[in-house]
Every structure is written in C-alpha cells, then in structure tokens.
Structure 1
C-alpha cells in the first residue's frame, strides 16, 4: 500500500514519539517510590473524571481549548488528556502528541506495531468507557514501557488519559535482592527489616519490593508492599493456580539456599493474574525475596 504525505507524517511523528525523549516537564522522578497499588492509575482516572465533568459543564469548544492548554489544569505530572473524534482525528492533547492535533491519527501505531488508536476508537464505538494497553516511550526514564489508556466516549468525542505500568526486570529484581542481602549481613536483621518495611527505605521501587519470611515459623518479618502483613504465617497461602508458593520458597531456601520460584499472582497495576517469579536467598534463619512479573 502506498503512503500519502499525511500517512508519512503520522508514521514519522509516531516513530519519533516512541523512540526519542519527550520534551515536556514531569513532576515525578524516573523511579518513583511506593507500592504499585498506589500507582498512577488512580491519578489518571481522577484526571479523566475531571476532564469529563469539564466537557459536560462547559461544552466542547471551551473544553477542547482547555485540554490543549498546558496551563489549562488538565496536566497532572506525566498524565494528560488527549481527545479523539470517532474518525480518528486528534482534537486536543496536553502531551507530546499535541504535535498531532488536527491530524487523523487512526493509523498511529505503538512501539510494537499495534494500531492502538484504532483499537481505542473501535472499543469506544461498542462501549462508552474502557481501556487499551500498548507500548509507549516513558519520558521519565526514556524507556518504552507498557501503558494503559483509559477512555470515555461523550457523543462523538473520546477523552483519553494514559498511565505507565511499572514492570521490573529479572536483572532489576536481582540487584535489589543483592542489595537487601548486603544490608542484612552488614546491619543485622532488625535494622534491615525496618528498612525493607519502609516505603522510603530504598527497597520499594515501582512494582518490586523485598519480603522476608522465617524458615521455621513461616511468618513475614518484612513485606515492602504491605508492611501490615508482618507476623502473618504464609505457609498455607496458595497462588491463583493452587500452588503453595511460600512452602516452595521455604523448602528451596532450606535445601539450596538460593533459587527462583515461579507462580501466578494478581498484578495490582493491571488487575490481571500474571506469571510471576520470586528470586530468593537464605540468610541465617530467614529467606529474602524479590519478585517480578514476566514481560508482556
């Protein structure tokens, strides 16, 4: 199929947005701390709610002007509103895609070649609200990451706000585990557990965190994602497939002292049950672990 000038422009701009840093300010660092359950999803949803209310109260002309204005109140850190027509025209954007305002972006694809704009529009024709997942450049760390765009359709307009899904790698999980083991050997259990349970202690980063389980009593000594679980016996807990994952971790730690346990677990960022892997290592009478989800 031959590309006309408009399609060439869309493809070029899409490639630039996927492959180079975005020149707009963000109020959050590249490695924001805190549990993924306090992730950007709530901010994105709240911003979308505000945009919807603004459109309904002020009409499309004033709303689109606000959505196109970086000072219009519809930018929240890395989150911004963009608006599509049902024919694929970008009507407004407060982000890097503002370069596409006025163009038909129906053919715009993500870093993996997925026509995500087309998917948003097709879903919106069938349901007034929903979400689409794709791969896009995160300007905070200059990496292509999973992104979810929430949308609401109002008449013939679609309001969209996206957020990135933190997804650590096996290498990142290993680095955090090594760091946790080093701290425990240097400072002892009490100080280490305190740091692991502290969201600002350096051991909770995006979707990865350190947990510690006693080998004899099966109780949490630390759980960076949920410090309130400290003291809970986890030996009878199973994953979504019925696998006694913590019993497996304890057995592996006692037998070999180090290894990986694979299981399925709900990812709070995507709200989906996914493949997860926990790297574990024994230190004295406890095991330390750091988990990560399989790449998507």
Structure 2
C-alpha cells in the first residue's frame, strides 16, 4: 500500500498562551495565511454539516421505526462509521431517559436519566439541531454532543439522537492538512475562552482567561478581542514554534460553526518562521545506536537515584550539560505525564502531556508511563528532531523508572522508515476495526473469532486482517499465524524491544487507540512498521487491525 505523504504539525506549533504583547490593526498574514484561514473555516463547517446530515438520517429512521428499533440502531451505527472519530451515540426520549447507546460498550448508559443536564434540557426545549459547547459527557470524557431532534410519523416530538466526539478530532481532520509544511499554525477556541483545538496539543482544554499561565495583561487584551470580534488580526509575543524563546507572532482569525456553535479559528505565524536549524550530519543506523541509548538512560536513572530528584532534573534540563550527547538527550516525566525535563523544549516543562498524541494518533506519553510502571522498555512515536530542523521522524524511545513517581528516557531517530499515514488511511483503519467490534458485540466472541480467523472471510484481507486478544494477552484471532491461537503473548516484544501486546492492551483499556509496532506483514513476508488501531469489545477482550508503512 502506498501511503500519501502527511507530515502533521505536532509539538512544534505555537498557541497564543503565556506572557506577551499585542498591537492592534496589524496587517494580515498575507494571501497564504488568509487562504489557510478561509479553508480552515470552510473545512470545519463541512465536517459539522457532515455529522448533522448523518444525525438527521438517524433521526429519520428512529422516527419512522421507533426509538429502540433495530433499524434505528443500525442507522446510528452507520452514522458513526461515516465519522470514525465519533466516540458514542445516545438516543434520548423527551423526558431525558436514555433508551439507546451505541456502541455496546456504553450500554450501561441505557435507562439513565440525563434530564438535568443543561444540554439535554436545551435539546428538548428548542427541538432543533444543536452543537453543544464542550462539557463532561456521560461516557467519561470532555467532548461535544451534536444532536438532532426525532419526530414521529404524526409529527410529534419523541426526543433526540446525539453523536459525541472530541472536538479536536473533528477539527483536526479539517485543519491539520492545511498547516503541513507551512509556517502557519492554527488554534480554535469557544467564545468562553476554552481552547478546543491547537496544533500544540498541550493547550487543548485550557481556558484563555482563567489559566494562571495566561494572565499577562497584553495577552488578556488579545484574547478579549478575539472572542468579542468575529474576525480580525493582531500581533503578540510567545514561544517560537521550536519552544526555545519568545518571538513576535502575527495572527488573523475568523469564525466557524453551525447550529449555535461559534468557534474562533485563529491562524498564526512567527515572524522568524523562516529560520530553520542546520541539519546534523549522517546518523548511525538505529540498531547500532539502541544499546548506547539504553545505557544512557540507565546511567541517567542511576544518577537520579544517587543525586535526588531536584539536582537530577536540573542536570537533565541543561541543553549544554552532560545529559545531552549529540542527538541523544534525557527527558523526564512524572507518572501522571507532567514534564519534568525536556532540554530542547523548555516551554513544556511543568505541562501535563498525558493526553498528547503524535501525528498518527499514538498516545505516546501515556504509553511511556505504562511501560515505566512495568519496569521500563521501548516505544515508537513520531517526534520533531531538533538536529534536523525539527522535522518529524520516527523515534524509538526507551524509558526506565527512577522510582514509583517518575521516570527518565531518551530516544533515537530511525532513518529511512516511511511513517506518513494520511487522514483517509487512518480513518479507514478505524472504521475497519469498529466494524469488527460491532460484529463481535452482535455475534459473540466465539462466532466472531471464527470469522476473524477464516482466511476466506472478508475480515482476513491480507495485511488488513483483524486480530483479537484477551486483555491478559491470550491470542483469540490471528488468521495468518494460527499457531499462536490460545497462547498468551502478553510479553511479546518486537525486534526493537517494543512490548506489542502490552501497548495494544493498554490502548484498549483506555477505550481504544493507536499503537506503533514492528510486525509480520503477510503481504510481503517481512517484519515492517505497522500502525495499529485497537478497540475493546468488552472488558475482557479487544480487536484490532493495522496498516503497514512504506519505507
């Protein structure tokens, strides 16, 4: 499979946050920036309208066949497959009682009374399509509920259907391709100041007006203008896109949103955006550097135990210190995901990055925390390389716990490995896995695994096959390697020492997610880098599939 080039802006983008200064009536970002802004607004609106159209079709079927009908459930399931980033869908009667929850993982919400929730009251009261503000959802995360009213055959109001998703997932689908390979960055905020998308993911969820880090009078003035005015431009000071120093940045904004949503879309550019660090010389192959990296991390962990946390973190944060050796440097996190040491991106120190994902959706910080809790090990992720002008490259990280509260790590970049998985490829993968999950929930584990293991079945489609494991690592479905069925592979490691099943099981336990592994490709007969997506069927087992990268 040939993967379309997709280099997402991750961890090198800049948000309008922190101390700074602003000037009014500044020139816009030029034709390029204006074009990016217009495309971003149009793309976000297109995504919202697409969800609305799917919700409308679901509401039509539910109205004709009943709020708990099989046809209605199938329509809801199809609506979610149309938008793979949606997490769940609820069907709610006009009295606020949940009568359907899809997928089955959320069946516990059925019969719950959510009439006291403001968004429920508003949907029942107004009986029109609505896009909510971000709020804590019954499903256990902060997200947006996009609802559509359901009317019966006689025109009577029955309730509503509501599709839930994380706003950054919807917005990122439209916005991320616009900033790739450009000097522009984008962030999106509600008019209450909550950041719902940012090319620097650490800023998502923060509030421009209440977060202690953003209390500079100049920035408060800028934020007030942005939320008060539907469009405009200004300048401010903040970190450059490498998070090394403060620079002057210019911004232009406009408004996106349908069905009561009003989102400020802000495009920014640093005035020094053209400055790119010089590239380093040729690098040794990853295999030759892996042992050196592991020894380096072990040395740092020992240093931390001997010198104590405060002195060790100070040493790790020194970009000219003994724990920065050419491309190798030590980073440190507490087990909750808060940055303790990151020598080349000091702006992140003190920031919680537990929810940060790389450009392919891999939650690598939470993965590191899980690996450290298991005694240490390796993980793949995409990360900007400071020695290569902060270009994003595949990185093999290695972490070790210092004690039960924090861990240290380092990483090496693996040259010559294709890692570009575009939005369409990733969403097709997610759709394939969620369809297998739905099949398993409908037919049960035995029948589902029989289908997954059948080489003549659609689920066993070459490299796109479906696999399944118990959460304890016991193999349930692996169509091209049947000799492993029934065996426990929880301790399986790939050629770089990555705990394959451990990371997949951890992603499933968190509700589903992406993981990089190196694994056998039945289409080529070789071990190749693979981006997997896994989804829990229930608390006991999960399904997954993957797509292989082209070197």
TM-score by length of 1: 0.50
Whichever of the two has the greater Rg, that structure is: 2
TM-score by length of 2: 0.28
